[in-house]
């Protein structure tokens, strides 16, 4: 079964180049390894309208999963939950479970730093517990702001914090098991061949032939800087059920490609099973 997943990364800091978006890289890599098909990564401003419209557009494409990152904190520009509420036409309300989580996290923080145990639930703190109606609180094992799960129209949306260590912890604890369950026996395999002494333009028809002869195998060429000679990585991937023996198919395709390359004057210097 093909399991589609989309990623929406939220934050002006990403769009102006202030912060490098490592979250999309992490989610895409982990989801792909689990056997999911990452169809789209969208980076948007942290405005209610942009968040709402991006979520609506993603829902309309009917992926099994949508993961958003960023915008769950206490500051004025953290507007993800407002945008999600607008997208699903739901009101925002203080979630008692989320409120207790935020309070306990603040209490733990105070104890560690020997501060007063009297925790004031200020408006910014309450904001982190103000969620759209009919949503599920998702445990954040590291940070203060909980994640959020929304089930709608056959899609499961997860809103995760933008702080990478928090996002990764929630993804691994909560989302990974769900993807594994949805994917079933499908698996992703990859293999790389590194070649010298052959231009990418000469590799193109060889790649076309391998992809035509080996159903499901995808080959992408990646030129690598080298001193005055062509050096290219050929990355082979396949997504298929275990019964189809994807690893064997990939090895077969890689060997065939290596033979074609050497017959055309190229040098296969390394093959790497990833």
Q: What is the 3-state secondary structure (H, E, C) of the chain?
A: CCCEEEEEEECHHHHCCCCCCHHHHHHHHHHHHCCCEEEEEEEECCCHHHHHHHHHHHHHCCCCEEEEECCCCCCCCCCHHHHHHHHCCCCEEECHHHHHHHHHHHHHHHHHCCCCCCCCCCHHHHHCCEEECCCEEECCCCCCCCEEEEEECCEEEEEECCCHHHHHHHHHHHHHHHHHHHHCCEEEEEEEEEEECCCHHHHHHHHHHHHHHCCCCEEEEEECCCCCCCEEEEEEEEEEEHHHCHHHHHHHHHHHHHHHHHHCCCEEEEEEEC
Give how many domains the chain has, as a whole number.
2
Judgement on whether residues 29 and 102 belong to the same structural domain of the protein: yes
Q: Same domain for 50 and 92?
A: yes
* Strands 155-160 and 147-152, sheet pairing: antiparallel
Residue 137 in this model has a pLDDT that exceeds 80: yes
In the listed set 183, 210, 229, which residue is the last one of a domain according to the structure? Answer: 183
Pair 80, 28 in one domain: yes
Predicted TM-score (pTM) of this structure: 0.91
- Same structural domain for residues 205 and 229? yes
What confidence score (pLDDT) does residue 273 get? Answer: 65
Alpha-carbon span 18 to 66, nearest angstrom = 25
Claim to verify: residue 11 and residue 119 sit in the same structural domain:
yes
Shared domain check, 203 and 175:
no
For residues 134 and 53, membership in a common domain is answered with: yes
* 94 shares a domain with 18: yes
Residues 6+ apart with CB under 8 A from 207: 219, 221, 234, 257
Do residues 4 and 39 lie in contact, with contact meaning Cβ atoms separated by under 8 Å? yes
- Euclidean distance between CA atoms 92 and 126, whole angstroms: 12
pLDDT digits (tens, 9 = 90+) for 57-80: 999 999 999 999 999 999 999 999
Which CATH number does the domain housing residue 73 bear? Answer: 3.40.980.10
pLDDT of 272 reads: 62
| pLDDT at 39 exceeding the cut of 90 | yes
Residues 81, 212 within the same domain: no
Please check whether residues 122 and 196 belong to one and the same domain: no
d(CA 114, CA 120): 16
Give the pair of three-digit tokens for residue 120: 């004031």
| Domain that includes residue 262, residue range | 186-273
From 30-39, 127-136, 261-270, the region with the lowest mean pLDDT: 261-270
Q: For 152-197, what is each residue's pLDDT tens digit?
A: 999 999 999 999 999 999 999 999 999 999 999 999 999 999 999 8
% of the chain with per-residue pLDDT over 70: 97
Residue after which a domain boundary falls, among 139, 161, 183: 183
Domain end, chosen from 183, 207, 238, is at 183
Please, which pLDDT band fits residue 119 given cuts at 50, 70 and 90? confident
- List the CATH number of the domain containing 235: 3.30.70.1130
- Average per-residue pLDDT in the chain? 94
């Amino acid at each position: 079964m093909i399991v589609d997943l989309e990623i929406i990364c939220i934050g002006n800091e990403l769009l102006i180049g202030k912060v490098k978006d490592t979250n999309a890289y992490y989610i895409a890599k982990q989801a792909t390894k689990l056997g999911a098909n990452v169809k789209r990564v969208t980076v948007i401003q942290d405005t209610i309208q942009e968040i709402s419209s991006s979520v609506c557009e993603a829902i309309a494409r009917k992926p099994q999963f949508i993961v958003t990152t960023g915008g769950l904190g206490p500051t004025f520009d953290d507007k993800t939950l407002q945008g999600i509420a607008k997208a699903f036409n739901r009101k925002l309300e203080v979630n008692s479970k989320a409120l207790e989580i935020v309070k306990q996290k603040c209490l733990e923080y105070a104890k560690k730093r020997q501060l007063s145990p009297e925790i004031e639930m200020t408006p910014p703190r309450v904001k982190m517990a103000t969620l759209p109606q009919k949503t599920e609180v998702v445990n954040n094992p590291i940070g203060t702001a909980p994640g959020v799960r929304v089930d709608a129209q056959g899609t499961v949306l997860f809103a995760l914090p933008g702080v990478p260590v928090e996002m990764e912890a929630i993804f691994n604890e909560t989302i990974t098991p769900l993807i594994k369950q949805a994917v079933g026996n499908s698996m992703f395999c990859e293999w790389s061949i590194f070649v010298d002494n052959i231009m990418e333009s000469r590799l193109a028809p060889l790649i076309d032939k391998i992809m035509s002869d080996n159903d499901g195998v995808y080959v992408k060429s990646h030129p690598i800087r080298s001193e005055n000679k062509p050096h290219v990585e050929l990355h082979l991937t396949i997504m298929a059920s275990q019964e189809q023996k994807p690893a064997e198919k990939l090895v077969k395709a890689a060997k065939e490609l290596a033979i074609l390359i050497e017959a055309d004057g190229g040098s296969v210097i390394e093959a790497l099973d990833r």
